[in-house]
A = this chain, B = another copy of it.
Amino acid sequence: MEGYGLFLVLLVSALLLGFLSVLFALVWVFHYREGLSWDGGSAEFNWHPVLIITGFIFIQGIAIIVYRLPWTWKCSKLLIKFIHAGLNTLAMILAIVSLVAVFDFHNAKNIPNMYSLHSWIGLTAVIFYTLQLVLGFAVFLLPFAPVSLRASLMPIHIYSGLLIFATVIATALMGFTEKLIFALKTAPAYSTSPPEAIFVNTLGLLIVIFGALILWMATRPHWKRPPEQNSKIQQPNGGTPEGTEEESTMTDCSNTDKSDVEFNSEAAARKRNLKLDEVGQRSTM
């Protein structure tokens, strides 16, 4: 893999930032706020930032770059697809639970739902994320979709995924803004920069940098997973568009012989891979 060292540095940085963001969310709700509970009060609301940051930001970010991890390139594409879909499903479940927490809290406190820009864009993001997951499952995981459909939908799948991820981060930033203004209404007011304000502003920055690292790793063409070696549907130029090759029957990473073949032929795979970029057919993930 070209630039393997840099990739590792960025990956470790992203993981650290992701863990740190989850840790910051927990410190926020336990140290500065009312902790976590499911009682219709503020402690129920607090599940919202914790689950969104854990699932909809951190886990979604990892799901986006899972194809890029070079040590998974010896595993079958199908296995990685399952991991990608599984992580995204987990993120979706956590996002939905976090929405239930907010609606429950609002209803218990007689606060209207869905009035803010944060809620409009946030709910739109959850709906599109769910659609993306269902469509991705039907087209790329189930074996029924024709090759041409997979090839034509892949660029849209990638673009939508990255756009939704960026939109979720933007929505989280709006959420921090709302919560800090509402929670720090009187002394200490948000405008006097009390420790909680500085702390949550810093959390916002951490999440932006995490997102920037994920988007950089996900869009570098030379860090793409090479296409499968045992593809049955060959293109005229010898390559196979991503998402269009026949799946390997191997679903684990223990087949050393195959792994060796795949790793040894990485350079050749990379060349084909790059040719496929020409028609914009290959996944970047």
Interface secondary structure of A, over-half rule: helix
Per a CB cutoff under 8 Å, which of B163, B192, B275 touches A112?
B192
Per a CB cutoff under 8 Å, which of B118, B204, B275 touches A120?
B204
- Which residues of chain A from 12 to 49 have a CB within 8 Å of any chain B CB? none
10 closest residue pairs by CB, A with B: A170-B170, A274-B278, A117-B204, A117-B201, A115-B193, A174-B177, A221-B280, A112-B191, A177-B177, A115-B191
- Tell me, yes or no, whether A253 is within 8 Å of chain B by CB: no
Segment of A69-77, A129-137, A208-216, A233-241 in the binding face? A208-216
- Tell me, yes or no, whether A101 is within 8 Å of chain B by CB: no
Q: Shortest Cβ distance from A114 into chain B, in angstroms?
A: 9
**Chain B residues closer than 8 Å to A190, beta-carbon distance:** 115-116
- Tell me, yes or no, whether A248 is within 8 Å of chain B by CB: no
- Tell me, yes or no, whether A169 is within 8 Å of chain B by CB: yes
Contact code string A127-160 (vs B, CB < 8 Å = 1, else 0): 0000000000000000000000000000100010
C-alpha gap A198/B155 in the complex (Å): 33
Q: Shortest Cβ distance from A132 into chain B, in angstroms?
A: 14
Chain A contact residues, CB within 8 Å of chain B = 111-112, 115-118, 120-121, 155, 159, 163, 166-167, 169-171, 173-174, 176-178, 180-182, 190-193, 197, 200-201, 204-205, 208, 212, 215-216, 219-222, 274-275, 277-280
Q: Please tell me if the beta carbons of A280 and B222 are within 8 angstroms of each other in the complex.
A: yes
C-alpha gap A120/B198 in the complex (Å): 10
Of the listed residues A121, A170, A193, the one surrounded by the most CB atoms of chain B closer than 10 A to its CB is: A170
C-alpha gap A180/B280 in the complex (Å): 42
Question: So how many copies of this chain end up in the complex?
Answer: 2
Q: Please tell me if the beta carbons of A219 and B112 are within 8 angstroms of each other in the complex.
A: no
Of the listed residues A208, A212, A220, A221, the one surrounded by the most CB atoms of chain B closer than 10 A to its CB is: A208
Q: Please tell me if the beta carbons of A201 and B277 are within 8 angstroms of each other in the complex.
A: no
C-alpha gap A163/B263 in the complex (Å): 33
Q: Please tell me if the beta carbons of B192 and A115 are within 8 angstroms of each other in the complex.
A: yes
Residue of B nearest to A174 (CB): B177
Q: Shortest Cβ distance from A121 into chain B, in angstroms?
A: 6
Q: Shortest Cβ distance from A122 into chain B, in angstroms?
A: 11
Per a CB cutoff under 8 Å, which of B169, B171, B191 touches A111?
B191
Residue of B nearest to A278 (CB): B274
**Chain B residues closer than 8 Å to A180, beta-carbon distance:** 116-117
Q: Please tell me if the beta carbons of B280 and A278 are within 8 angstroms of each other in the complex.
A: no
Q: Please tell me if the beta carbons of A208 and B167 are within 8 angstroms of each other in the complex.
A: yes
Q: Shortest Cβ distance from A270 into chain B, in angstroms?
A: 9
**Chain B residues closer than 8 Å to A200, beta-carbon distance:** 117
**Chain B residues closer than 8 Å to A208, beta-carbon distance:** 121, 167, 170
C-alpha gap A46/B169 in the complex (Å): 26
